[in-house]
Structure 1
């Protein structure tokens, strides 16, 4: 059992919320790609409310945009963990970072496909 897992109940929820905000703050201040995706979301999400689409389509358009933020957070976490282990160049470290980048590429492609299918 981890010594960091001692909180329960409402205190645990408050702590988890604080850790989540810390993570968002770290991503926003330290990751240019995350800031770019936030900007993309600031443009695309309000745009969904101006489009003549169904509620389900609007939810899907918004969901794929938010998915890009989730994937970027995970990609950044992978990169930070790899860099914490070692800054030395290693094929496995490169593979891990490249796979995180590939995940982000796939989700950006997903955004383009979903928006194109719904709007065209």
Structure 2
């Protein structure tokens, strides 16, 4: 396995931060930083690109979950479902317990995006223990 020196990691951060501060898209800034950092850190071009691809593959699932949760939140808001859920919770709990109603409504609206991710991670860990 190819390892990158500390100097390469620091160079990657500096390049990425400078580019982002110069209004370059963060995605491009981080890619350029990773490329420069890998080369300075002691890897050749092929190894650097290979490390970048394997690193990106490791975060794709998390990014897709975040995007899906954002889409779900947008649909709930645009369709009026979020408002309906909040009003129903307030009506059932009562206006005197507005803080509790807010907590329950927030739980209902965010549970899907949060708990699906946690349940998936738990299930993978459970399977890894059972399969071992």
Whether TM exceeds 0.5 here: the answer is no
Which bin holds the TM-score, normalised by the shorter protein? Answer: 0.3 to 0.5
For the pair shown, the structure with the greater C-alpha radius of gyration is 2
The structure with the largest helix share of the pair is 2
Q: So what's the TM-score if we normalise by structure 2?
A: 0.32
